[in-house]
Amino acid sequence: MNRENVTHQLIGKKAFVTGSATGIGRAIALESARRGADVVVHSHRDDDSVRSVVAEIEALGRKSVAVVADFRSPDQIDRAANRALEFLGGIDLLVNNAGITFNRSFDEITSEQFDVLFNVNIRAPFFLTRKIALDMKTRSYGVICNIASIHALEGAPEHSLYAATKGALVAWTRSLAIELAPHGIRVNAVAPGAVVVDSYKTAMPEFDEDELAANIPAGMVGKPEDVAQVVAFVLSDDARYILGQTLVVDGGTTAWMSFHDGFRRPSQGRFGLEYMNLL
């Protein structure tokens, strides 16, 4: 497919991307606009970052507005959905990107932290989607993309609670896709691996991108745009035969058998000789 066709994939579509003031969500909102969609962006606070995304989308000749909502609150989730529907006059594309990344030892997690993470990472997309899917059903068309994580697929220390929310998102994606398919609505998820966003350096002042890249088969750490390109494809009608799937965008991280630490070197062992008659 040539680039000209790609840049017109979403012309005439109306999109709502949650958690789109920064990072992966911002990249998804901007890529959707580049491909022709009008986009409602969302943040949990009203600041320059969310306003700048709106300005960039408008500079591309697309309609945009910022919706500010704290997804810990059911009332604010509902108001955000209503505002997005009102501004766009209906929603074709929904990207549930808003979420909290959280790491804490299993035996240190409080019940309050548990509630916040599940409320934002799974309860909010569940009820936001239910509201917007009602509008999609009236037109027998819609695409929903949930942003999961490779933590839903692989284990890591201090991520049991976060992984639980993302695992729930993957399972929900699969089941919801079957339920909504008869209404012309496709549901999929995208699971990013290591992607450099501003919060990396805030949470880890000593973060070394080169050191992390050395442990990724692709030899590099992902950028938000790497995820946005895949999400934009999933949202387009070019992906019409894909539903209920979780597409992994991780530079080969989950494909690698991690106990085999020499993925860049030839193996010194020779297995199966007696079975393959190569002695």
Give catalytic residue positions: 162
The DSSP letter of residue 222 is B
Q: Are 50 and 23 in contact (CB under 8 A)?
A: no
Strand order across the beta sheet in which 64-68 lies = 64-68, 38-43, 14-17, 93-96, 142-147, 185-192, 246-249
Write the CB contacts of 244 (distance below 8 Å, at least 6 apart in sequence): 173, 174, 177, 178, 181, 187, 188
User: What residues pair up with 145 in beta bridges, in sequence order?
Assistant: 95, 188
Rounded to an integer, what distance in angstroms lies between the CA atom of residue 14 and that of residue 48? 23
Residue 236: closest CA among 82, 4, 7, 42: 7
Rounded to an integer, what distance in angstroms lies between the CA atom of residue 15 and that of residue 231? 12
Residue 219: closest CA among 198, 190, 248, 250: 250
User: What residues pair up with 191 in beta bridges, in sequence order?
Assistant: 248
Q: Are 213 and 222 in contact (CB under 8 A)?
A: no
Dmax (CA) for the chain in angstroms is 72
